[in-house]
Chain A
Amino acid sequence: MPRTRNDILQGTLALLVLKAIAARGRMHGYAITAHIQRASADLLRVEEGSLYPALHRMAQDGWLKAEWGTTENNREARFYSITPAGRKQLQLEEESWMRLRDGVQRVLRFA
């Protein structure tokens, strides 16, 4: 797959997803997508399908717990909640992201 401009975003997807779930609690995939979109004031738009491999991977790594449930409209959906390990990972990702942001800013300011 050729690298798209979204790939940088993919790398931080885990961070965004964890933060979203940590902030809003138990959510299904669609809600996570919508939340990221809204919270970023539409600045971030992920290819929505790529969320799911990431969600499943994070469930495999033990950062999220997945289970089937029903929405308010009585539809079946798969809900994800964050685990303690996930919270820890979130903290690490946040710190990593801060370092990245600071580093990039410094380089940009240097010019």
Chain B
Amino acid sequence: MTWLARLRNVFRAERVSDEIDREVAFHLAQRAEELVAAGFTPDAARQEARRRFGNPGHHKERTRDRDLFVSLETLIADLRYAVRGLRGAPGFALVAILSLALGIGANTAIFTALNAVILRPLPVPDADELVYVTSGRSETLSYPLYERFRDQVQSFAGFGAVERGMARHELSVRGAVATDVVRAPAVTGSFFGVLGVTAALGRVLGPEDDRVDADPALVISHALWQRHFGADSSIIGTVVRLDSMPATIVGVMPPGFVGFDAGAVADLWWPIQLAPRLDAFDRSWAARLTSNGVTWLVLFGRLRDGVPRDQAQAEAAVVFRQFGEQVASDPTWTPLDRQRIRSETVELEPGRAGYVQVRRVFKQPLFVLMSVVGLVLLIACANVAGLLLARGAARQREFAVRAALGGGRGRIIRQLLTESVVLSLGGGLAGFLVARWATAFLGAYLPKDDITLALEPDLRVLLFTGVVSLLTGVLFGLVPALRLSRRDLVTTIRDQGRGPAGDLRPRLQSALVVVQIALSMVLLAPAVLFVRTLQNLRSIELGFQRENLVALSLDVGRRRPSARELSDVEHRLLAAMAARPGVRSATVSGAGLLSGNGYSTEFSVDGYVAAPDEGMRAYAVLAGPRFFETMRVPLLRGREFNSGDEPPFRADGRQGRAAVVIVGESLARKVFGETDPIGRQITSLNDSLRLTIVGVAGDTKYREDPRDGTPLEMYLPYFGAGVRMPSLVYLRIDGPLSAVATDLRRVVAEVDSRVTVRRLATMDELLDQVLVRERLIAQIAGFFSAFALLLASLGLYGVVSYGATRRTREFGMRVALGATVRDVLGLVLRQGLVLALAGGTIGLAGALAVMTVLGPLLYGVSSTDPLNLAAVMSLLLAVSLFACWLPARRAARVDPTRSLRAE
């Protein structure tokens, strides 16, 4: 009887039993025969044979145990029984599985996001040894810093850098007409070596590619190889063109390789030293390798064997400080800047999961949401446990009989747990489907343009779902199992003779409902705060009017037009767009409001002496004609910029600098007090230019985060500012964007076919992207707290309903003795409200404890706001009242004669 045979026999149990019976029967028959031959009567012979044999049942069972895996057989029997039981109570099963599906599915979805953003390790060997560098302010650093770390930090066995972000370039293959836009970040020659990966075809980049005069080599991804080159096995050696640089494809990476920037999976990688040769039209590439001001790289390294991260960080901090000193020693910095440079620090973050740009944004919200859905699952568990208890009450007789027949308590508990696990596994399966949908929903919150994050469930997620389902089943099944298997046999079997199921007092179920209500309170109170935070943020006064304002960014292609050409095109565009129906006005801006980009300059004013610690630095954006009209920024004094302010083009093709400026209200008040600043002059120290003030505008917000109150201090004329900044066209429109979107794109194409619209969005949409964290938390916490409240109130309904049914006789008697409908209503409602109040109070305490840590996530609301708590409590009580209403009404309608007769 091999192991496999024993396994198989589990499914042939009856046949096995039969065989053993026959074998034993044969033995007994033989012995009986022999005894008869020795003189026994047939009956006596049989008895003696049995006596000699021993207890046949006992021996048969022991034999059977040898022939198959009993534990497995019991498990299968339990499973069959559980499924049969559930099929007989489809309503219960459906409700239970649905609640569980939503709870488990939500957990799976959030975990999938967590996995993608934070947990999933890079598919490289010894990923734990990887670290990446961040400074306090930003996660990207410069090339000179990379070189310094590479050369001087001994704790790294290898050090590399990769360009952050989508890094779009044009890829053209000889003979093909169209070019493809690919994601092609620049990498150092050490990139693949530090990661410890090799190519699937050809070779990876190495130190030999780290020279500006090297033969341009490219490594492409597996996906690009399939998509663009048809998985051609002779790809190695193909010459292509990346932007304006011819290059050779030297390697193809295996599928699944994501590089180090796990959130922006690249199509190909090219050597960073070739930057100056990449784009003939863009001179700025060369500066990227030499300037410390251009922070465009993610720096990462592999720790040397046995070197802990702390040690490496200490060493890196020292090297960084020396570097900072060197940078700060440049005499052109202002003292304020110098101080800022000196105060910067670096940190080494664990690089096991690579670098994901949105991690900083989403890390905290995801953990908050994980707690939220965890609580929701707990509530669902308590709910299902209550359902099981209620259902179990009807099965008391079944358990009592089983116990009387010798089924141990452990056996019953095991069977009940099997039923629970069947439910929870069913919920897990359904939950997995829920999670697919929910994950897609979550994905909508990610900024699609900048990252490509695969929110796909992998093995870790599957494992998580499985374990959670299992634990959930045990969790909600344990208490009912313990409870239901512990019954006084005699009274139960006797009691079954009269009335409804035993006298199982619903104390446990009431406790479960109180738990559910308390937990929903813990979810509800913060959720309301989050929603209010989002509302507050969305309605922050920005200084300009947001409604019907549209921002449009243009792409002028790689063949950069001259300054004069560009100016001409922009003027024509503005005129054409403003003339369209549905467009109220159009203007252009350099950097735009709420971007945090911009121009800043130190300035001075004649006759104004600044205090010693007062920073005389102004932030400025470039404003085109009709800027203030379009943006609806109030002009308090003076006028807008007009064509008179635009200086002519000089002989060298560049435009002269305009000498006018419009100042912000705060600046004007600070420097000039109440006197009229029109006509006065400000000196911009950066370019030693004297600017005449022609207007004063209301304060607008400068930084990208609307919470940051830093006001914009200066506006310079767009046409004639003398500086290039990414420009935005702003349009004030009547009505929704969809009505004019296609029209606008057409206008752009008509004015100049080389120019395309890169992005077109309303101001509200742009603001929403800034507020993505708050939106995510508010919307999801809001949804789930509402769902939790629903579950809890269903639980309350169940308990109150059950309690009222139990007391039908009592109510009948009361009514017969003169109680009014109101009295009975009151009795039932009281029971429900007691539970609701108990749960609400406990929940309140819990919510207060939780909300103390939520401070940083809130805006404009206090975590201990009594109004908020009172409102949530009232909501809870109102919903609970409603949940108790139906059973109360039913109980109050009872006909006393009927209830008393049904005794």
A77 to B66 CA separation, bound complex (whole angstroms): 19
Q: Which of A16-24, A25-33, A88-96, A98-106 contacts B (4 or more CB under 8 A)?
A: A25-33
CB distance A49 to B59 under 8 Å?
A: yes
B29 CB contacts on chain A under 8 angstroms: 75
- Nearest B residue to A64 via CB reads B1
Q: Hey, which chain A residues are within 8 Å of B53, CB to CB?
A: 47-49
For chain A, residues 59 to 83, give those with C-beta under 8 angstroms from any C-beta of chain B: 59-60, 62, 68, 75-78
Interface contact A53-B31, CB-CB below 8 Å: no
- Residue B895 lies at the interface, judged by CB distance under 8 Å to chain A: no
Q: Report the Cα distance A68→B22, complex, angstroms.
A: 10
Q: Is B65 engaged at the interface, CB distance under 8 Å to the other chain?
A: yes
A30 contacts B55, C-beta separation under 8 Å: no
Q: Whole-angstrom distance from the CB of B51 to the nearest CB of chain A?
A: 10
A 35-53 contacts with B by CB, 8 A: 47-50, 52-53
Q: Could you tell me if B54 and A56 are in contact, using CB atoms closer than 8 angstroms?
A: no
Who on chain B is nearest to A57 by CB?
B66
B237 to chain A, nearest CB (A): 61
| Number of chain A residues close to chain B: CB under 8 A | 20
Which residues in A have their C-beta under 8 angstroms from that of B65?
A: 53
Q: On chain B, which size bracket covers the interface?
A: 20 to 34
Set of chain B residues within 8 Å of A60, measured between Cβ atoms: 1-2, 5-6, 66-67
In the complex, A29 Cα to B60 Cα: how many Å?
14
CB contact list, B50-80 vs A, under 8 A: 52-56, 58-60, 62-63, 65-67
Docked Cα-Cα span, A106 to B6, in Å, equals 43
Report B-chain residues with C-beta under 8 Å of the C-beta of A30: 26-27, 30-31
| Residue in B5, B27, B52 whose beta carbon sits within 8 Å of that of A29 in the complex | B27
> Does the CB pair B54–A48 fall under 8 Å?
yes
Distance, CA A56 to CA B56, complexed state (A)? 15
Distance in angstroms between the alpha carbons of A59 and B66 in the assembled complex: 10
The listed residue (B1, B5, B19, B66) touching A78 by CB distance below 8 A is: B19
> Which chain B positions have C-beta within 8 A of A29?
23, 26-27
Asked if B24 contacts A52 (CB within 8 A), the reply is: yes
* B23, B26, B52, B65 pick with most chain A CB within 10 angstroms: B23
Q: How far is the CB of A68 from chain B (nearest CB, A)?
A: 8
- Picked from B22, B26, B62, the residue with its CB within 8 Å of the CB of A53 is B62
Q: Is the CB of B26 within 8 A of A56?
A: no
Task: State how many angstroms separate the Cβ of A67 from the closest Cβ of chain B.
Answer: 11
B442 contact set on A, CB distance < 8 A: none
Contact residues in A for B62 (Cβ distance below 8 Å): 50, 52-53
Question: In whole angstroms, what is the CA distance A4 to B699 when docked?
Answer: 100
> Could you tell me if A28 and B26 are in contact, using CB atoms closer than 8 angstroms?
yes
8 Å CB contact of B54 from A28, A47, A57, A68: A47
Kindly state whether residue B20 has any CB partner on chain A within 8 Å: yes
- The residue that A49 contacts in the complex, of B1, B55, B66, with Cβ under 8 A, is B55
Q: How far is the CB of A5 from chain B (nearest CB, A)?
A: 14
Contact call B23/A77, Cβ cutoff below 8 A: yes
Contact A53-B66, Cβ < 8 Å, known A47-B54, A60-B2, A60-B6? yes
Nearest-neighbor residue (CB-CB) of B27 within chain A: A30
Closest Cβ of chain B to A3, distance in Å, is 15
| Contact flag A52-B2 (CB < 8 Å), given A30-B26, A77-B26 | no
The interface of chain A, by Cβ under 8 A from chain B, is 28-30, 33, 47-50, 52-53, 56-57, 59-60, 62, 68, 75-78
Q: Which residues of B contact A (CB under 8 A)?
A: 1-2, 5-6, 19-20, 22-24, 26-27, 29-31, 52-56, 58-60, 62-63, 65-67
27 A–B contacts, CB within 8 A, in A order: A29-B23, A30-B26, A30-B30, A47-B52, A48-B31, A48-B52, A49-B24, A49-B53, A49-B54, A49-B55, A49-B58, A50-B59, A52-B20, A52-B23, A52-B24, A52-B27, A52-B59, A53-B63, A53-B65, A53-B66, A56-B67, A59-B1, A60-B6, A62-B2, A75-B26, A77-B26, A78-B26
14 extra interface residue pairs, beta carbon distance < 8 Å, beyond A30-B31, A49-B59, A56-B1: A28-B26, A33-B27, A48-B31, A49-B24, A49-B53, A52-B24, A52-B59, A52-B63, A53-B66, A56-B66, A57-B1, A60-B1, A77-B23, A78-B19
Minimum-distance CB pairs A-B, first 9: A60-B1, A49-B59, A49-B54, A56-B66, A53-B62, A47-B54, A30-B30, A49-B53, A30-B27
